[in-house]
Amino acid sequence: MTATAFLRPEFVESFPPELEPRVLYVSIPYATCGHLCVCGCGHEIVTPLSPAQWTLTYNGRDVSLSPSIGNWGLPCRSHYWIREGAVRWCRRFTAREIADNRERDRRDLQEHHADTAPGPIARLYRRLGL
């Protein structure tokens, strides 16, 4: 496979069994996006939509995802933005930068869950310092 320069949005309830290249699947019911890695390696990339993970912007024709997508756990280690459907490549991160990003993402997700969790769960998160 070759690298992808542009992703076309396709709004679906759930992802098809096999994802097509150059398509960004958007599932509003499951608050999730999915696509094949734009480097061409063929790995499926899933981006959960939430204030603590990724946000989606739709301009009526194209979509953007924020923040960037860093596939640190894949052999390709690709890193890119999706802006109005266009793929914008980023530099490769160092091992230290990857570790720092993972830690920040973990903290952001814990804070989000603590802030949005109902009563007793939120109290437990706060008591545990999460």
Tokens of 93: 């991160």
Mean pLDDT along residues 46-67: 93
Q: Is the pLDDT of residue 114 over 90?
A: no
| Dihedral (CA of 37, 43, 49, 51) sign | negative
| Predicted local confidence at residue 97, as pLDDT | 84
Distance CA(107)–CA(130), nearest Å, equals 8
Distance CA(33)–CA(57), nearest Å, equals 12
Query: Which residue matches tokens 């952001």?
Result: 108
Query: Which residue matches tokens 């069994």?
Result: 17
pTM over 0.85: no
Q: Is the pLDDT of residue 122 over 80?
A: no
